[in-house]
């Protein structure tokens, strides 16, 4: 008889021997190195004068709420109390009060969980080092840069003033398109323009950076070009330029024209004084016309269009983390509490990505999270849980209403 992991339950004749292994939740959180976590906690004196509710227990409670789709801290504590006899085995111990978790979120430095997320991201990058979900076989790194705004209530989150009647924070993300693992994440108030994040990103030579037209700032694009990196973005409608040379077009592939250009406007030409490539592309399926700008002259025009097509992965990342991990409804009102919750949400996302590799799971991150959310108290090795469970196809919800009757 072959056993997988720590499984200790099996059938012998008509008798069932009960499993005494780890809960699924504990198997997931065990992927976090306790030594590394404690090193981070000590760095910020997170457990200074703490008697019982340590930073680790805070992380476990918050991660439990994320993984089980709890709507609030009260909801999380209620669920934990309903399973009080299991809390010791989860590493939480006695169930704490709502005020205890809230106070920890408000007062303990969010940098503890920021450093944890960065540590997990580095581990995930190593696990996915040779993965490539792109249609193109590129050796170079390919990143997407974008931002999403998370709306907040102005009366409760006055520190995040956005407009006179609104508050909000902005999550700036640099996503590795080959692996869908975030490379960098930055916070700002929602009033900060997206393009400003280009001032703090370190651009790697020979890497590609895919951005939408909101990031078109010629001075910053020239900085990318000067660093030996490549950008792919969309041209603005009022772009003033002159054609220097026309490359071969391919109407059948959707390439209306492929040009080498120079900027005409005095200030724009001063900010970006070298040649640029402008490609007009028609999507043959939708009929939509897109105009791309890039400083790469080696890729085919169709390959540039394919690269930009993969930018939708960062939109999926924002959608996934907003819908399936709780960062829309915040479990604290201070800036520290909000950042703590977001960084723990990012850590859980990356933990699931790590679990996918560690347990050799074939399901998508969405499918894995759905199964984990209803199997959190199962005592079965995770790899066997996904082998034995007859998984249905979990399809992302669409905006269109489903037809009830097929007439």
d(CA 368, CA 380): 15
Domain identity same for 275 and 368: no
Kindly state whether residue 128 falls inside one of the protein's structural domains: no
Under a CB-based contact definition with an 8 Å cutoff, are residues 224 and 209 in contact? yes
3-class SS of residue 174: strand
Kindly state whether residue 166 falls inside one of the protein's structural domains: no
pLDDT of residue 394: 47
d(CA 321, CA 375): 20
Domain identity same for 232 and 278: yes
Kindly state whether residue 23 falls inside one of the protein's structural domains: yes
Domain identity same for 26 and 68: yes
Kindly state whether residue 199 falls inside one of the protein's structural domains: no
**pLDDT above 90 covers what percent of the chain?**
62
Phi-psi region of 180 (alpha: psi -120 to 50; beta: other; left: phi over 0): left
Domain identity same for 228 and 267: yes
pLDDT of residue 231: 98
Q: What's the DSSP call for residue 201?
A: P
Where is pLDDT greater, at 6 or 339? 339
CA dihedral 56, 57, 60, 61 (to 10 degrees): -150
Kindly state whether residue 217 falls inside one of the protein's structural domains: yes
Q: How sure is the predictor about 156, in pLDDT bands with cuts at 50, 70 and 90?
A: low
The least confident of 5-9, 27-31, 139-143 is 5-9
The least confident of 92-101, 111-120, 128-137 is 128-137
How large is the C-alpha radius of gyration of the chain?
24
Domain identity same for 20 and 105: yes
Q: Which domain holds residue 36?
A: 10-112+333-388
| Arithmetic mean of pLDDT over the chain | 86
Read off the pLDDT of each residue in 328-355 and give the average, rounded to a whole number: 86
Query: Is pLDDT at 104 greater than 90 in this prediction?
Result: yes
Kindly state whether residue 320 falls inside one of the protein's structural domains: no
Domain identity same for 292 and 229: yes
Read off the pLDDT of each residue in 269-276 and give the average, rounded to a whole number: 97
Tell me the angle at which helices 55-67 and 111-127 cross, rounded to the nearest 10 degrees.
Answer: 60
Q: In the structure encoding, which two tokens stand for residue 252, read together?
A: 């059948």
3-class SS of residue 357: helix
Where is pLDDT greater, at 213 or 389? 213
What pTM did the predictor assign? 0.83
Which alpha helices (DSSP H) does 110-245 contain, by range?
111-127, 218-226
Domain identity same for 17 and 105: yes
Kindly state whether residue 316 falls inside one of the protein's structural domains: no
Q: pLDDT tens for residues 53-88?
A: 999 999 999 999 989 888 888 889 999 999 999 999
Q: Total structural domains in the chain?
A: 2
Query: Is pLDDT at 383 greater than 80 in this prediction?
Result: yes
Kindly state whether residue 146 falls inside one of the protein's structural domains: no
CA nearest to 297, candidates 315, 270, 276, 323: 276
Under a CB-based contact definition with an 8 Å cutoff, are residues 113 and 101 in contact? no
The least confident of 163-177, 193-207, 210-224, 302-316 is 163-177
Burial classification of residue 234, based on how many CB atoms lie within 10 Å of its CB (0-12 exposed, 13-18 middle, 19 or more buried): middle
CA nearest to 281, candidates 307, 244, 263: 307
Where is pLDDT greater, at 277 or 134? 277
Q: pLDDT tens for residues 217-248?
A: 999 999 999 999 999 999 999 999 999 999 99
CA nearest to 144, candidates 233, 272, 216, 239: 233
């Amino acid at each position: 008889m072959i056993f997988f992991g720590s499984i200790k339950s099996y059938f012998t004749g008509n008798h069932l021997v009960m499993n005494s292994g780890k809960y699924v939740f504990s198997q997931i959180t065990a992927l976090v190195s306790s030594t590394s976590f404690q090193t981070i906690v000590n760095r910020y004196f997170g457990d200074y004068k703490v008697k019982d509710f340590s930073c680790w227990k805070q992380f476990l409670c918050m991660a439990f709420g994320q993984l089980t789709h709890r709507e609030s801290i009260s909801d999380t504590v209620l669920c934990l109390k309903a399973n009080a006899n299991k809390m010791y085995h989860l590493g939480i111990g006695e169930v704490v009060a709502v005020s205890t978790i809230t106070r920890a979120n408000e007062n303990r430095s969010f940098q503890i969980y920021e450093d944890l997320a960065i540590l997990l991201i580095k581990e995930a990058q190593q696990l996915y080092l040779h993965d490539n979900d792109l249609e193109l076989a590129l050796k170079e790194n390919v990143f997407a840069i974008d931002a999403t705004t998370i709306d907040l209530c102005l009366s409760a989150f006055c520190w995040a003033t956005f407009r006179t009647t609104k508050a909000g924070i902005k999550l700036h993300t640099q996503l590795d398109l080959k692996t869908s693992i975030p490379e960098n994440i930055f916070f700002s108030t929602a009033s900060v323009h997206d393009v400003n994040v280009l001032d703090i990103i370190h651009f790697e030579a020979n890497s590609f950076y895919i951005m939408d037209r909101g990031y078109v700032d010629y001075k910053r694009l020239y900085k990318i070009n000067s660093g030996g990196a490549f950008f792919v973005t969309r041209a603005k409608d009022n772009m003033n330029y002159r054609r220097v040379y026309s490359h071969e077009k391919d109407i059948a592939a959707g390439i209306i024209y492929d040009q080498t250009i120079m900027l005409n406007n005095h200030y724009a030409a001063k900010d970006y004084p070298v040649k640029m490539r402008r490609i007009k592309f028609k999507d043959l399926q939708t009929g939509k016309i897109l105009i791309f700008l890039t400083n790469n002259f080696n890729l085919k025009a169709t390959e540039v269009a394919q690269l930009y097509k993969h930018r939708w992965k960062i939109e999926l990342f924002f959608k996934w983390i907003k819908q399936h991990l709780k960062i829309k409804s915040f479990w604290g009102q201070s800036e520290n509490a909000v950042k703590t919750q977001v960084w723990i949400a990012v850590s859980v996302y990356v933990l699931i990505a790590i679990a996918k590799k560690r347990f050799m799971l074939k399901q998508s991150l969405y499918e894995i999270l759905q199964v984990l959310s209803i199997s959190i108290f199962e005592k079965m090795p995770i790899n066997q849980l996904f082998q034995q469970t007859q998984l249905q196809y979990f399809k992302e919800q669409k905006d269109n209403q489903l037809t009830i009757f097929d007439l």
